[in-house]
Amino acid sequence: MARSEPLRIGVLASGRGSNLQAIIDAIESGKLDARLAVVVSDRADAQALERAQKHGTDAVFMDPKKYPSREAFDQAVLGVLSEHRAELACLAGYMRVLSSTFVRALPGQIMNIHPALLPSFPGLHAQRQALEHGVKVSGATVHFVNEGVDTGPIICQVAVPVREDDTEETLAARILEQEHQLYPRAIRLYAEGRLEVRGRRVYVNET
């Protein structure tokens, strides 16, 4: 289904924002027909906020301490996304678990990127978990967000072989390179209306 206007994305990020940068680069180079409507961070010092400003996007710091509950904070974030008419929320290194309130408000409209081949190694320190487990292949996953932690329907994945001399840092760096390709690609499929979720499976329709 062709869109009349480019997809409006809101990105939620807590830190460095290299995945956000990959999305910005894909938009600026014309590889991704989308608009970055707003970037929200729960950390005032997040580099992601600077990256957004440099691109000319509204960068909003929201302090969780100013809200009485997780739900209240999430409602406020939803408010900012809606003010900016964001149609898809992309989590990119967002270090907060979304409340059910948030997830239910945007059904099928929230994506996340995770540095492992889910369902292996969800949660924090996925690369460390992979090394400790001794897997030979890890990777990255982009998935829709449901009410669990890293449990939503998988959109796309890429495998990254683990080397014998890998440390958490070297493995994370090689996975990150792949993440930067994978996330814009997943968003493009969404923007093109090609993703169809049936149960746990996400089907990619041909154009």
Catalytic residues: 114
What is the Cα–Cα distance from 194 to 207, expressed in whole angstroms? 7
| The 3-state secondary structure of the chain, one letter per residue | CCCCCCEEEEEECCCCCHHHHHHHHHHHCCCCCEEEEEEEECCCCCHHHHHHHHHCCEEEECCHHHCCCHHHHHHHHHHHHHHCCCCEEEECCCCCCCCHHHHHHCCCCEEEEECCCCCCCCCCCHHHHHHHHCCCEEEEEEEECCCCCCCCCEEEEEEEECCCCCCHHHHHHHHHHHHHHHHHHHHHHHHCCCEEEECCEEEECCC
Q: Is 18 in the site for ligand GRF (CB under 6 A)?
A: yes
Among 12, 19, 37, 60, binds ligand GRF (CB under 6 A): 19
Among 6, 15, 64, 153, binds ligand GRF (CB under 6 A): 15
From 53-61, 113-121, 152-160, 199-207, give the range in contact with ligand GRF by CB under 6 A. Answer: 113-121
155-184 residues in contact with ligand GRF (CB under 6 A) are 176, 179
Whole-number minimum distance, CB 15 to ligand GRF, in Å?
A: 5
Q: Are 202 and 144 in contact (CB under 8 A)?
A: yes
76-105 residues in contact with ligand GRF (CB under 6 A) are 92-93
Q: Which is nearer to ligand GRF, 24 or 78 (CB)?
A: 24
Place of tokens 């408010």: 79
Q: Which is nearer to ligand GRF, 24 or 72 (CB)?
A: 24
Whole-number minimum distance, CB 58 to ligand GRF, in Å?
A: 19
Q: Which is nearer to ligand GRF, 10 or 17 (CB)?
A: 17
**What mask of x and - would describe binding to ligand GRF in positions 115 to 154, judged by CB under 6 A?**
x---------------------------------------
Q: Is 16 in the site for ligand GRF (CB under 6 A)?
A: yes
Q: Which residues bind ligand GRF (CB under 6 A)?
A: 13, 15-19, 92-93, 113-115, 176, 179
